[in-house]
Amino acid sequence: MQPEENIIKVEVSDKAGNTVSREIEVKFSDTNPPEVVIYSPDDNFKTNENTVTVSGTILDKESGIDKVTVNGAEISISSYGSFSATVNLAEGVNKITVIAIDKAGNQTTKALSIIYEKAVITIILQIGKTKFTVNGNPRTLDSPPVIKNSRTLLPIRAIIEALGGTVGWDATERKVTITLGSTSIELWIGKSTALVNGVSKLIDSSNSKVVPEIINSRTMIPLRFVTENLSCSVNWEPTTKTVTITYLRN
């Protein structure tokens, strides 16, 4: 029987062949709400990513689904009732609400909390040593960091890749391009200026001798200029000649 109005036809015949028929109108109201099952993520799920994909199924065998929303945004569901929606997260606790409404107006609401914590990446390296650590895990540089003109220079690729970025090299221009998130840094061998998202900046405002160099066939880049323009914090420990880089990944 379908929701709302249904017509039932009743027909009766006697032995003499006389037939009487009547139509009976039966009104049926669907009072059962849709079934909502969320497969992923679990409630109180913690993530270091700034988005989360919510997936599950929504079923209503009586009147059918009219509308589904996730945090107020209407989404589509498949013919089998499955759905998937990506939700942007703010740092901290995020409330996600899935609402399903059937064609009879019945509603089911499912809510869960997602905790977004920015990933902290800590890189520790020492002058003169090729070994360094990323969140305590050992890594290796192509060449050890050096101090020149009172500034730390090192082959930057391993550091940038540990942060989740990329490094490109243009042999014709002798240019290094570093990309991390929405930030792009272009540096040239021997030049004391660089481009940060297209804007020209001095690599070191107090010392024009601080430039990218090729040392022992390795491209060495001023560490502090690059990392600070990538929103990292840099700490220098002179006693042990140790550099600590901290980055909060968005």
77-116, pLDDT tens digit by residue?
999 999 999 999 998 999 999 999 999 999 999 999 999 9
Domain boundary residue, one of 85, 116, 147: 116
Strand partners, 242: 126, 237
Distance CA 159, CA 141 (A): 8
Residue 247 has pLDDT above 70, yes or no: yes
Q: Which pair of structure tokens corresponds to residue 63? A: 């009147």
Confidence of residue 1 (pLDDT cuts 50, 70, 90): very low
Residue 210 is encoded by which pair of tokens?
């601080």
pLDDT of 18: 73
Higher pLDDT, 16 or 58: 58
- Report d(CA 202, CA 208) in Å as an integer: 8
Under the banding of pLDDT at 50, 70 and 90, the label for residue 68 is very high
Q: Is residue 110 part of a domain?
A: yes
* SS3 assignment for 76-145: CCCCCCEEEEEEECCCEEEEEEEEEEECCCCEEEEEEEEEECCEEEEEEEECCCCEEEECCEEEECCCCC
Which H, E and C letters describe 4-43, residue by residue? EEEEEEEEEECCCCCEEEEEEEEEECCCCCCEEEEEECCC
Report the mean per-residue pLDDT for the chain: 92
Instruction: State how beta strands 107-116 and 45-47 pair.
Output: parallel
pTM of the model: 0.64
Q: Tell me the DSSP string of 158-194.
A: HHHHHHT-EEEEETTTTEEEEEETTEEEEEETT-SEE
Domain boundary among 116, 140, 162: 116
Reduced to 3 states (helix: H, G, I; strand: E, B; else coil), residue 153 is strand
Q: Is residue 3 part of a domain?
A: no
pLDDT tens-digit series, residues 24-40: 665 557 899 999 999 99
Share of the chain above pLDDT 70, in %: 91
* Start-to-end CA span in the chain (Å): 53
Instruction: Please report, for the domain that includes residue 49, its CATH number.
Output: 2.60.40.10
Per-residue b/e over 49-63, b at no fewer than 16 CB within 10 Å? eeebebebebbbebb
Residues 42-56 have pLDDT tens digits of 999 999 888 999 999
CATH of the domain at 242: 3.30.457.10
- The answer on pLDDT for 141 being more than 50 is yes
Same domain? For 131 and 229 the reply is yes
Element housing 150 (H / E)? none
The secondary structure element, H or E, covering residue 1 is: none
**Which tokens belong to 217?**
């066939």
Number of domains comprising the chain: 2
Residue span of the structural domain in which 72 resides: 35-116
Q: Do 136 and 219 reside in the same domain of the chain?
A: yes
